[in-house]
Amino acid sequence: MNVIGESVQTRSGRDEIGPVASGRVPPPEASVLRNGLTRSKAHMVQAVTKSVMLDDDQEMIERKLKRLSQEKSLFDRKTSKIQFLMCKVLLMIMYLIYGFYRYFQYEYNRMKLKLLNIMYNPSNTPQLIRQDVNKLKKIPKRLAAILEMKSASYVGGGVKGLMNDGSELVCWTVSAGIKHLILYDYDGVLKNNVQDFRKEIRAKLGKYYGPSNVPKYAIRIPHLNKIYFNDEDDATSNGKNKVAIEVSLLSNRDGRETIVDLTRTMADLCAANELKLSNITMKLVDKELTHLVGPEPDLLLYFGPALDLQGFPPWHIRLTELHWEEDNDDVVYSVFIRGLQKYSACKINVGK
Amino acid sequence: MMDGGSTIPGYSVALEWVKNLFSRTIKSSNCVPKHIGFVMDGNRRYARKNEIEIKEGHEAGFSSLSQVLELCYEAGVDTATVFAFSIENFRRTPSEVDHLMRLAREKIRQITQHGEIAEKYGVRIRVIGDVSRLHKSVYDDIVATTELTKSNTRATLNICFPYTSREEMLHSIKDVIAGGKKSGEINEASIERSLYTGDDPPLDLLIRTSGVTRLSDFLLWQVSERGVVIELFDCLWPEFGPMKMAWALLKFAFRKTFSDKENELEDDDGVLENQDDLYIKKTL
């Protein structure tokens, strides 16, 4: 502790604390960033200085007030303030260095993603996807994907963009020969627009397979216990076994809230003496939740820059393999196929 | 990295000093994760890789853990939850299970001793999970030792032993039902409170080593919450150490500072051009 105190004191002697608040000169890294790199970096620097200065201003006022009231312990307080300020300055330097590094990392990741997108380009042909998938040793039985709705002002944003992403994924999954797909979006936008989504899927599949050759599909909304086959309104027309893909639409509602619902139901049953507490086992809960939400997926794809599960049903991600690409922001085929590749290489040994 | 430098006099003092300075600096950002979860994966692979006994691999893992925890508590982390032993781990060979039990017992006793982490940082140590599966003698011993740290309030260390998240959720559901609440009074919060981590702040960061991209039944309920950061490292746990932890803390603080600042800036002056806004958001 003393070592720090001393070093901070000697350093602060060089730095002069007073001017820091009003006319702070940023360290050399800042000026490099400000002049050399893009403007956005300069904004970052601004943000840092702003945060530091904000604290300093309050501190100055505080210090003045205290100086007026108490002259005695001024020295002690001053040293601790100086220490704190030093930490802030150091923090800023660390942020700058990290920000610098992060900038290059970001550029590198984006470049990598661009190259991958060129390498893996299905261009609406199921055969190409088949070729990619046939090389793999094993493929997941159930695939899940977390989708996010982007702001409507961007290209590929809004409800339309989300449905486009979702239906694209359905096509890839069908082409890869995977029979179950779970599409998760936090707010349940896909669920609420299920009729439009059905049409969108049909149109997309038509593009991949030709309009006369559209594979059969079923859309399931477990929460409402509804199933839609192809885009006909009559739910019983087609045999359930014949579909090429079953798409489950989930949202935040199917996560924790469903577990709460189950608890409520079981509490009622227990209160009515129809269920004993000792009969509530892992097997029972698992069975019920599988019934209410669906089985656990083998692979979960996330198309955002840093993994965020966004309330995905917690019971259902026990051994799920997670895949996302750092700094990626779009639903692209390269993430999909690389996820499958990763899954085919992974080895799951429970407990061992 | 330690081996090379340890012969230089004053090296450990300097290291300690750097560590303290770093943790204070990070602390001053006010963006330190309150609750961190650790999956310590790769001890056995480390042993195999370095051709040492599996036992020694676990030992190396423990020493890595204690250094990481020191850094965390110093930097102001409130709660750390570590995955020490999964219920599934009972499937391993009896001799290894035995050894892990002995190790846990020994180490829990060690960290509660005079001058060790528990006393130094005021850490309350809890063993969470399905403790009824433990051998009676192990259980009694653990209870007796953790009882000693009960009055510590500055920080918490949860040792998951033996634990799986599904068991935790099941336990919580049963607990809520046994509490005799009417079904209308049961909500998400009541289940959350009954989890083993119910009294702790919400999870902010999950760290898993050895490049495996699964949660393996650890803190599923907590991790699935929106906004929880998941960091996966390619190295094995004994190689993780305080340096990588420092990196993870810096990354977390950086991200948090700017995502908060971003919103503030938008509020008080809307001058940032859209493109730059978007760019900053992406780099965070």
pLDDT at A235 over 60: no
Residue B11 lies in a domain: no
Q: CATH number, domain at B59?
A: 3.40.1180.10
Whether chain A has a CB inside 8 Å of the CB on B221: the answer is: yes
What is the chain B residue with the closest CA to A40?
A: B276
B80 secondary structure, DSSP code = E
Please return the burial class of B38, using the count of CB atoms within 10 Å of its CB with bins 0-12, 13-18 and 19+.
buried
- Higher pLDDT: B245 or B271? It is B245
Contact at CB, B26 and A91, closer than 8 angstroms? yes
**How far off is chain A from B57, nearest CA to CA, in Å?**
15
Whether chain B has a CB inside 8 Å of the CB on A313: the answer is: yes
For residue B16, the model assigns a pLDDT of 87
For residue A334, the model assigns a pLDDT of 92
For residue A317, the model assigns a pLDDT of 93
For residue B79, the model assigns a pLDDT of 95
Amino acid symbol at A197: F
Residue B57 lies in a domain: yes
Contact at CB, B216 and A318, closer than 8 angstroms? yes
Reported as a single tens digit per residue, the pLDDT across B153-187 is 999 999 998 999 999 999 999 999 998 888 888 99
Mean pLDDT across the stretch A126-151? 91
Partner residue opposite B173 with nearest CB, options A84, A280, A312 = A280
- Higher pLDDT: B219 or A55? It is B219
For residue B228, the model assigns a pLDDT of 94
Task: Supply B197's token pair.
Answer: 């981590």
> Measured between alpha carbons, how far is residue A94 from residues A19, B28, B95, B248 in Å?
21, 12, 47, 13
pLDDT at A319 over 60: yes
What is the chain A residue with the closest CA to B272?
A: A43
pLDDT band at B111 (very low <50, low <70, confident <90, very high): confident
- Closest alpha carbon to A341 in A349, A330, A333, A329: A333
**How far off is chain B from A185, nearest CA to CA, in Å?**
12
For residue A82, the model assigns a pLDDT of 87
pLDDT band at A3 (very low <50, low <70, confident <90, very high): very low
- Higher pLDDT: A338 or B117? It is A338
In A, which residues are within 8 Å of B176 by CB distance?
A: 263, 267
Q: Are A260 and B192 in contact (CB under 8 A)?
A: no
Mean pLDDT across the stretch B184-194? 91
- Higher pLDDT: B136 or B278? It is B136
For residue B259, the model assigns a pLDDT of 81
Reported as a single tens digit per residue, the pLDDT across A189-206 is 999 999 999 999 999 999
Amino acid symbol at A218: A
For residue A170, the model assigns a pLDDT of 94
Partner residue opposite A260 with nearest CB, options B187, B220, B254 = B187
Task: Supply B110's token pair.
Answer: 């060690």
Contact at CB, B257 and A103, closer than 8 angstroms? no
**How far off is chain B from A213, nearest CA to CA, in Å?**
38
Contact at CB, B224 and A257, closer than 8 angstroms? no
Secondary structure of A17-49 in HEC code, one letter for each residue: CHHHHHHCCCCHHHHHHHHHCCHHHHHHHHHHH
Mean pLDDT across the stretch B40-54? 91
pLDDT band at B105 (very low <50, low <70, confident <90, very high): confident
To the nearest whole number, what is the mean pLDDT of chain A?
80
Residue B184 lies in a domain: yes
Partner residue opposite A4 with nearest CB, options B17, B91, B220 = B17
Task: Supply B17's token pair.
Answer: 């000093």
What percent of chain B stands above pLDDT 90?
Answer: 51
Residue B192 lies in a domain: yes
What is the chain A residue with the closest CA to B87?
A: A351
Whether chain B has a CB inside 8 Å of the CB on A257: the answer is: yes
> Measured between alpha carbons, how far is residue A118 from residues A112, A129, A327, A333 in Å?
10, 14, 17, 10
Contact at CB, A255 and B166, closer than 8 angstroms? no
A226 secondary structure, DSSP code = E
In A, which residues are within 8 Å of B220 by CB distance?
A: 314-315, 317-318
In A, which residues are within 8 Å of B185 by CB distance?
A: none
E strand or H helix at A55, and its extent? Answer: helix A39-69
**How far off is chain A from B232, nearest CA to CA, in Å?**
10
* Segment among A68-72, A166-170, A284-288, A334-338 with least mean pLDDT: A68-72
Separation of alpha carbons A196 and B235, rounded Å = 46
Contact at CB, A94 and B25, closer than 8 angstroms? yes
Whether chain B has a CB inside 8 Å of the CB on A81: the answer is: no
* Segment among A223-237, B4-18, B265-279 with least mean pLDDT: B265-279
For residue A313, the model assigns a pLDDT of 95
Mean pLDDT across the stretch A122-146? 90
Partner residue opposite A91 with nearest CB, options B20, B28, B181 = B28
Q: What is the CATH number of domain A120-345?
A: 3.40.1180.10
B86 secondary structure, DSSP code = B
E strand or H helix at A283, and its extent? Answer: helix A282-292
pTM across the whole model: 0.80
Reported as a single tens digit per residue, the pLDDT across A15-54 is 333 333 333 444 444 443 444 444 455 566 565 555 555 5
Residue B224 lies in a domain: yes
pLDDT at B212 over 60: yes
Whether chain B has a CB inside 8 Å of the CB on A72: the answer is: no
pLDDT at A158 over 80: yes
In a mutational test of the A interface, the residue from B15, B18, B20, B25 whose CB has the highest number of chain A CBs within 10 Å is B25
**How far off is chain A from B119, nearest CA to CA, in Å?**
17
B88 secondary structure, DSSP code = G
Whether chain A has a CB inside 8 Å of the CB on B228: the answer is: yes
The residue extents of the domains of chain A are 120-345
Whether chain A has a CB inside 8 Å of the CB on B267: the answer is: no
> To which residue do tokens 């499958």 refer?
A340
In B, which residues are within 8 Å of A38 by CB distance?
A: 279
A73 secondary structure, DSSP code = T
Separation of alpha carbons B257 and A215, rounded Å = 49
Q: How many CB pairs under 8 A join A and B?
A: 178
| Domains contained in chain B, number | 1
Alpha helices in chain B (DSSP H): 2-5, 11-27, 43-49, 54-74, 94-112, 117-120, 136-147, 165-178, 188-194, 220-223, 237-268, 274-283
Whether chain A has a CB inside 8 Å of the CB on B166: the answer is: yes
Whether chain A has a CB inside 8 Å of the CB on B259: the answer is: no
* Segment among A120-124, B154-158, B244-248 with least mean pLDDT: A120-124
Mean pLDDT across the stretch B216-238? 93
- Closest alpha carbon to A208 in A325, A319, A129: A129
- Higher pLDDT: B2 or A252? It is A252
In a mutational test of the A interface, the residue from B86, B163, B174 whose CB has the highest number of chain A CBs within 10 Å is B174
Whether chain A has a CB inside 8 Å of the CB on B206: the answer is: no
Reported as a single tens digit per residue, the pLDDT across A52-79 is 555 555 566 666 666 555 655 666 677 7
Domain that holds residue B171: 30-272
